[in-house]
Amino acid sequence: MTALDNTTTVLQGLAIILGLPLLVIGLGELIERSKREHNPFTQVLTVIRNLLFPPLALWLLLRQFFQVAEDGIALRVVGSLFWVALIYLLLLFLNTTLTAGKQQKSWQLHLPNLLFQLLRALVVLGILAYVLGNIWQVDLTKIMGALGIGSLVIALALQDTLSNLVSGFLLIIESPFKVGDWIKVGELEGEVIEINWRAVRIKTLDKDIIIIPNGNLGKENICNYTLHDPLHVVRMYMPISYEEHPDRVIQVLQDVALSVDGIEPQPLPDIDPQAYKNSYIEYEIRFCITDYSRLEEIKGDFFRRAYYAIHRNQFHIPFPDKVEYRVFNLPQDPEDTAERLTEILRSLPLFSRLDSRTLLELKQHATLERFAVGERIIDAGTLDQAFYILLSGQVMLSLVGLMGEEQEIAHLTEGDFLGEMVFLPGETSPVYATVTETAKVIRIAPVAIVHLIQHHPKFAVEMSQFIEERKKWIRLAHR
């Protein structure tokens, strides 16, 4: 060995001895900084320092400094450890940068679970093949030949499994749905929560998990409720008596649909008479939703609000055709009688000074109505349609704040009233009135209010003072 060769070996040894520790120290500083910043690549850097560098440094020392032969057992073992560490590092890197589920970071790439697992398998098999073929000098052609002969037996034994695997690849290529979509396969429907090489898992509206083999998916028609357009049309049916005018029924049911959270205002909910039955007209209600997981909740909310709207508008829903009822002296709501309404009006301080004749005239324009939780009796920016006295339940008064948020200003309970802007024709309401507990109210028509103002000046003055007081609340709430 010449002096030049000795010098080169010494320099290489010094580079390894000094360079690798400096590199490890630098990585340590980078790891600490990443931990403080909660960087997702912290674990990747830790693996490089703790698992990848030690076998690499040992291999370089054995090969370059101690001149160990490449086919020596020691060098092969150290080299194999390096490649195993590299497999672990690459898998960790893939797990950090790619995801088969919900994206945790905006920069992560989303892959179908089948492709994600295939990529991981290729990394492992590729590196293992290199280690066996190049480090341990294993003849891979013989192994491949044996696998080729055995593949026919495996294919026959695993027909269903291979069918599911091929169907899984076809699903990825065609992509008829993705994780998060709502689909219907045969009689089954639910939200796709996982797609893998063997099956698709969906969660139904009943929160049950159903596993559908990929092979079965290829044989069924697939309905995707959210592909391209998230809007989904819901159809419901309701019987209404022939006595009710269709135009009025359509308007009431459409207003109910527009008041339900989750029903899209565009396209406008559509209500049409669909069939003339023996004793009623069957109406079809069609509306669009975008969150299919809330389907049952939205339908239930619609039926609940429709019940109260039907009663307020005194629509008649007929009984089944073949059931006959004979009812004499049909019971009334005890608070819906003329005497009770008059008694309630007289008990209120606002009307206590009115004479019996005026109260009787007022009662003729008063009706008892009920509102469901979440319904709005009054909308801000619109004209009040009547004057309401709250008999039971609770109503929240709110307005839109300076930042566009809804701001609560008061809670009304039994004996309170609302709709006072009906006393000021042409002036819109500044507040929303939303039911927070099922409400029963007395509704007094505007014509009766106008008559009161014209013939009872003291009543008009008291009402004007109340309106000014409520306007002060609103001004204070805006501050």
Label each residue of 190-233 as H, E or C: EEEEEECCCEEEEECCCCCEEEEEHHHHCCCCEEECCCCCCCEE
Residues 447-457: what's their mean pLDDT? 83
Q: What per-residue confidence (pLDDT) applies to 101?
A: 64
Of the listed ranges 15-24, 158-167, 422-431, the one predicted with least confidence: 158-167
- pLDDT band, residue 298 (cuts 50/70/90): very high
Please state the domain extents for the chain.
16-138, 167-224, 232-312, 334-478
> Cα–Cα distance between 98 and 101 in angstroms, integer?
9
The 8-class DSSP code of residue 424 comes to S
> Average model confidence (pLDDT) for the chain?
83
Answer whether 46's CB lies under 8 Å from 95's CB: no
Q: Which pair of structure tokens corresponds to residue 311?
A: 């009663």
Please report how many Cα atoms fall inside a 13 Å half-sphere around the Cα of residue 140, on the Cβ side.
Answer: 12
Over residues 389-417, the pLDDT tens digits come to 998 999 999 988 777 778 888 899 988 88
pLDDT at 114 over 90: no
Span 334-478: which CATH code?
Answer: 2.60.120.10
DSSP secondary structure code for residue 96 in this structure: H
Name the least confident of 154-163, 239-248, 273-282, 314-323: 154-163
Phi/psi at 252 (5° precision):
-65, -50
Mean pLDDT of 99-110: 72
Supply the CATH classification number for the domain 167-224. 2.30.30.60
334-478 and 167-224 share a CATH fold: no
Two tokens at 348? 């209120």
pLDDT value at position 330? 45
> Which residues neighbour 148 within 8 Å (Cβ) at sequence distance 6 or greater?
none
For residue 301, the model assigns a pLDDT of 95
Integer CA distances (angstroms), 299 to 224, 263, 293, in order: 20, 9, 12
Q: What's the pLDDT at 281?
A: 93
At 43-96, the pLDDT tens digits run 999 999 899 888 888 888 787 777 788 788 888 898 899 999 999 999 899 888
Per-state percent for the chain, helix, strand, coil, to nearest 5:
50, 20, 30
How large is the average pLDDT for residues 295-314? 93
CATH code of 232-312, in short, is 3.30.70.100
Question: At CB < 8 A and 24+ separation, what contacts does 347-354 make?
Answer: 348/389, 348/415, 348/417, 350/417, 350/459, 350/462, 350/463, 350/466, 351/459, 353/458, 353/459, 354/452, 354/456, 354/459
Query: CA geometry: angle at 467 spanning 464 and 471, to 5°?
Result: 140
Q: Look at residue 35 in the predicted model and tell me its pLDDT.
A: 87
Confidence of residue 432 (pLDDT cuts 50, 70, 90): very high
Residues 150-154: what's their mean pLDDT? Answer: 54
Query: 334-345: per-residue pLDDT in tens?
Result: 555 667 777 878
